[in-house]
Structure 1
Amino acid sequence: MVALVPDLVGSGGRLCPLRPDGQPAGAVEAAPDLAAAVARREAAERPRWVWAATDETYPRLLERAGVRPARCHDVKLVESLLLGMAGRHGSPRSLGAAWARLHDLPEPADAREGGADDQPVLFAADRQHLPQDADPLTALVAVYADQRRRIAASEHPDRVLLLCAAESAGALAAAEMGRDGLPWSAAVHDGLLTDLLGPRPAGGARPALLNDLALRIQQALGRTVNPDSPAQVLPAFARLGIPLHTTRSHELREVDHPAAALLLRYKELSRIHAAHGWAWREAWVRAGRFRAEYVVGGVVSGRWATRGGGALQIPRLLRGAVVADPGYRLVVADAGQLEPRVLAALSGDPGLAKAASAGDLYAALALDAFAGDRPRAKIALLAAMYGQTSGEAGQLLAVMRRRFPAALALVEAAARTGEAGGTVRSRLGRTSPTPSASRFVDTGGDADGAEGAGDFGSSDQRAARSWGRFTRNFVIQASASDWALAMLAALRRRLTAIGPEPRLVFFQHDEVIVHTPAALAPAVEEAVAAAGDEARRLVFGPTPVPFPLETNVVECYADAK
């Protein structure tokens, strides 16, 4: 392991070798050209690099030398994980804040992470949080050593170490994907937008097809309304005898009226225009690449977020714009039915594990417990994972409880923990936050309060049940994130072994895209399969539950589904 601190200005920095416990193992090296020094050590030793924050440090190495370290320890991301395990979600996580906690000093607030129009100055964010007399390298080494102590003291240190390594590897992949970018054809994008919206309007005006839809909505409602304004649309529907609570798509789909169908189409196209239209391309696509800014661990469950750009929500209608370079292919890999498989592996339920081994988990579940009715089997399993109890889902949930008791016991125990205000953990130790204490006021066990048992008792009790639904799914979704990050780290390593050309260019929860020379596509497919199985073994141990990744080798993303 080698700790690394860049100079505040210039291209230099300092390096310090570390022992496994995080203590210094040798003299500090001053490197006038930090990127070159890292490249030399990476080629000779392949150490695990320890630095304050990958998103601040790594882009500089990529830019100056193109060096791609195999491993790192991201102090900021690891600090966030360890704080969560200690019940301190939301506490400042920077190097400066961690250093302050070590010395019982006031914790400085984290710097606001820059967005598309507010880029942070590289390396300055953490440095400014340290006292003026604190040496950044000394602070980094001390905080890292403290993190190693806290990991060793955890209930399952091997799992937590794996989680920290996978989270840090994800940060490396995120920086690389932001630099390499997803291939994006401006010509195809233009054609798709023109087909969907009409020619590009001047001055940011509403496109022609949106104007036409807005006029048709007004005609169907019999009055002038702005389709973007729920305050105008809801009363217009009410005058037609159609009461709506919102203009959300799920409500509109239940309405049998021409205006509802038109408004649904308007909302879909308006969203594309706003989120992935011509202005979006000018902001986010450069040199034929969509360069997203991923936020690793941006969601409490471990899923990623983005700083604008909508990388995690590329509409299916626009996937035709994602086109491989000539002579290249896109290897698109998708882990189907991931969360149900996670539930099977976590719970060890033999019936659910058997269904997961059959390929289509829902179809196998249907044959086993729902008379071959796949849609009902899917509803039942989703109800188990998300805590839905009303209507048909409640009846199907009773079947699940009888036929798959271990799986239901796991999620229901997680729900009870959440209802009581407790925390639950993923397979590797990612910890759920706690709700505010006010949500769990003791009602003295009286479930028949003024609001009545039919309304789930008091507002505090309803809030408790809501939080129970959150923790019920957190165990599954966060463990799915554990697997996905371990898979991403394993795939990144295997792609490096194939050669410099196959590049990860997209990651979204349970899907990855690799841009590769066509001749190497078979090797990439093998790497994807091996990475998925490696992650299964690392995260879940000797489970019989498979985690298959379906791969498609295509020239265009739209052809993968």
Structure 2
Amino acid sequence: MRWCVVGRRGDGWSLVDVGADGAVGTALPVGDADLPSAIADRERTRAPRWVWCDTPHVYAPLLGAGVRVARCHDLRLVHQILRHAAAVGAGPAASALRSAAEWNAPPRAAPAPPAATPGAPTLFDDEVAAAPEPGGVPESIDAALAEFERQRAALAAAQPSSGLARLIAAESAGALVAAELTAAGLPWDADEHDRILAAALGPRPPLGVKPERMQQIGADVRRHLDAPDAPLDSPPRLLRVLRAAGIEVASTSRWELREHEHPAIAPLLEYKKLSRLLTANGWTWLDDWVHDGRYRPVYVPGGVVTGRWASSGGGALQIPRMLRPAIRADPGWVLVSADVAQLEPRVLAAMAGDRAMAAAGSGKDLYAGIVESGAVATREEAKYAVLGAMYGATSGEGGRLVPRLRRAFPAAMRLVDDAAERGAAGGTVSTWLGRSSPAPDAEWNAAQAAASLPGASARDEALARRLARERGRFTRNFVVQGTAAEWALCWLAELRTRLAGLDPVPADRAARASGPVFARRPHLAFFLHDEVIVHAPLAQADAVSSAVEESARAAGRLLFGSTPVEFPLDLRASERAEKS
């Protein structure tokens, strides 16, 4: 295998070949203006695996110059995986890598539309904030070479049975896909978006004025509350108004409001729904994020601790269903959309080798199959039970039904129960390919230590038990959600390769707004955990549909070999991306 390391040196760049034996070649200096042509030339003649500090920082300008690469090794993303990976162990190679704290930084901010307001992410956030310049990981050629050597040594020291090499390749391929999704953009009909907003909210109001329908509904809420000045957009102040009206709630969340009978509740819930639409995807969002018929969000591969993607702007992972009709192919092109039915429970069945659960999803809806197995009575119960099993439900409908799954699908349940037990005891767990959960933090360790001391109070013991249960729920879900993310990465990587092998269309059929790399080729345009959308020339719709299906089968084989678990797709080809 041959690599080519890319890094900064002085005012320009350096390209350094590294052989399969680790031998480092002579640095080739390249100026900023010449970097795209130099990389295009080596990509064409040598097809190396490119090694660079941070894909969006390096690859986005290349795509803008019309240069696409087939493979890369993203040093920042790989460092995040290896520094936590249990399979790497605790030897000298692992210690050297984990001591390189400068590589723990978030991604650099790539050229992109305005970013969302920064906020503190939690473990399962989908929206994160990228570090502004001059943050990020090192980008000098010397730092890149040194980190690459540390990563190669750590990987060589890893347990041979681990799937880390495949995970690293898939994660880096995902970084390329994410940059390409932003470069190509998602075809977006701004007029349709405006029509949807107007239908829901009323005509676009002047800046700083609430839409007509929100004003009307707000007036209804205030009338029912007998509070003409009720501050509907301030949760703490609204909470006081609700209590004064006799509605005893602890928060203004829609889940809690629904539990109460009062004439103000229904219009208040509608107001909150419209307020969310206006804030998250209203006219300001349309102005900021949709230009020249394309919506270009910023994706963050590995932005969630399980390996799921996040977004650092544009809310790509949170587009409401009502706006789907605004996703519209260019004339002469089509949107090929596919999502996987019940991805996470199918992944669980494959990981556990649970043949009964595999059979429940063979050729049919998995939840319907669980009903047929006799474990539960209805499809809704099956869904509650499976979600309860994966997220550690102990009460409510999910908690009531989980014991039935233990009897029907013991192997699958044993896998998540063991992961929860390990996490509750302070241990770490790993996904199928070897991404490991972070160790407990200092607060967790302190609480457990305090509860174990002689004379510990009942409060100390209760806190320790609660934190242990919470960590157990986290590790229970980590192994499933993380492995599902790995399946999706393999799907993306395989599909990206297959799409690149299709012939370009003539220039007069180009979708020019998709940019110089993708204007004449079918390309990935959207990704959301278990769903992809490909923007394809109409004449290639069948070929692209086949590529999507074949890539899903290949992802299953790559992870699980000859597993009997199926990963069926809901596949559609149409002008718009709305689901039926």
Q: Normalization by structure 2: what TM-score?
A: 0.86
State whether structure 2 residue 565 is matched by structure 1 residue 545.
Answer: yes
Taking the TM superposition and a 5 Å limit, the aligned residue runs for 1:74-473 are: 74-85=74-85, 107=102, 110=105, 113-114=108-109, 117=114, 129=138, 136-156=140-160, 159-224=163-228, 225-370=230-375, 372-436=377-441, 437-441=445-449, 443-444=451-452, 450=458, 458-473=462-477
The amino acid of 1:367's aligned partner reads: E
Distance 1:525 1:198 in 2: 39
State whether structure 2 residue 27 is matched by structure 1 residue 28.
Answer: yes
1:406, distance to aligned residue in structure 2 (A): 0.9
Sort the Cα spacing of 1:405 and 1:67 in 2 relative to 1 into closer, same or farther, 3 A. same
| Post-superposition CA distance 1:411-446 (Å, at most 9, x none) | 111001111111111101111112221242363499
The answer to whether the 8 Å contact 1:3/1:137 transfers is no
Distance 1:336 1:221 in 2: 44
Distance 1:152 1:45 in 2: 25
State whether structure 2 residue 22 is matched by structure 1 residue 18.
Answer: no
Sort the Cα spacing of 1:103 and 1:70 in 2 relative to 1 into closer, same or farther, 3 A. closer
State whether structure 2 residue 577 is matched by structure 1 residue 557.
Answer: yes
The answer to whether the 8 Å contact 1:414/1:471 transfers is yes
The answer to whether the 8 Å contact 1:100/1:107 transfers is no
The answer to whether the 8 Å contact 1:370/1:376 transfers is no
Sort the Cα spacing of 1:326 and 1:39 in 2 relative to 1 into closer, same or farther, 3 A. same
The answer to whether the 8 Å contact 1:182/1:290 transfers is yes
| Post-superposition CA distance 1:251-290 (Å, at most 9, x none) | 2233333322211111111111111111111111121101
**3-state SS in 2 of match to 1:332:** strand
1:348, distance to aligned residue in structure 2 (A): 0.9
Distance 1:358 1:72 in 2: 37
* 1:494 corresponds to: 498
The answer to whether the 8 Å contact 1:502/1:516 transfers is yes
Distance 1:29 1:263 in 2: 64
The amino acid of 1:536's aligned partner reads: G
1:104, distance to aligned residue in structure 2 (A): 6.8
**3-state SS in 1 of match to 2:373:** helix
Sort the Cα spacing of 1:475 and 1:104 in 2 relative to 1 into closer, same or farther, 3 A. closer
Distance 1:171 1:250 in 2: 36
1:319, distance to aligned residue in structure 2 (A): 1.3
| Post-superposition CA distance 1:186-209 (Å, at most 9, x none) | 111111111111111112321111
* 1:94 corresponds to: none
* 2:554 corresponds to: 534
The answer to whether the 8 Å contact 2:289/2:314 transfers is yes
Distance 1:17 1:280 in 2: 44
1:3, distance to aligned residue in structure 2 (A): 2.4
* 2:510 corresponds to: none
The answer to whether the 8 Å contact 2:83/2:97 transfers is no
The amino acid of 2:48's aligned partner reads: P
Sort the Cα spacing of 1:6 and 1:463 in 2 relative to 1 into closer, same or farther, 3 A. closer
Sort the Cα spacing of 1:548 and 1:112 in 2 relative to 1 into closer, same or farther, 3 A. closer
1:244, distance to aligned residue in structure 2 (A): 1.3
**3-state SS in 2 of match to 1:352:** helix
Sort the Cα spacing of 1:100 and 1:285 in 2 relative to 1 into closer, same or farther, 3 A. farther
* 2:515 corresponds to: none
Q: Give the superposed CA RMSD.
A: 2.9
The amino acid of 2:501's aligned partner reads: A
Higher deviation after alignment, 493-502 or 522-531: 493-502
Structure with the greater relative contact order (CA < 8 A, sep ≥ 6): 1 or 2?
2
| Post-superposition CA distance 1:355-410 (Å, at most 9, x none) | 12142000010111236422112211111111111144333211111121111111
The amino acid of 1:53's aligned partner reads: D
Question: Structure 2: any 5+ residue segments left out of the alignment?
Answer: 116-128, 505-520
**3-state SS in 1 of match to 2:247:** coil
1:479, distance to aligned residue in structure 2 (A): 0.4
The amino acid of 1:27's aligned partner reads: T
The answer to whether the 8 Å contact 1:217/1:263 transfers is yes
Distance 2:430 2:526 in 1: 27
Higher deviation after alignment, 159-168 or 390-399: 390-399
1:485, distance to aligned residue in structure 2 (A): 0.6
The answer to whether the 8 Å contact 2:376/2:404 transfers is no
Q: Normalization by structure 1: what TM-score?
A: 0.89
The amino acid of 1:202's aligned partner reads: P
1:121, distance to aligned residue in structure 2 (A): 11
The answer to whether the 8 Å contact 1:4/1:50 transfers is yes
The answer to whether the 8 Å contact 2:8/2:141 transfers is no
The answer to whether the 8 Å contact 1:358/1:364 transfers is no
Sort the Cα spacing of 1:102 and 1:221 in 2 relative to 1 into closer, same or farther, 3 A. closer
| Post-superposition CA distance 1:201-240 (Å, at most 9, x none) | 1123211111111111111222231112222333333344
Matched pairs, number: 538
- Percent identity over the alignment is 45
State whether structure 2 residue 533 is matched by structure 1 residue 522.
Answer: no
Distance 2:142 2:557 in 1: 37
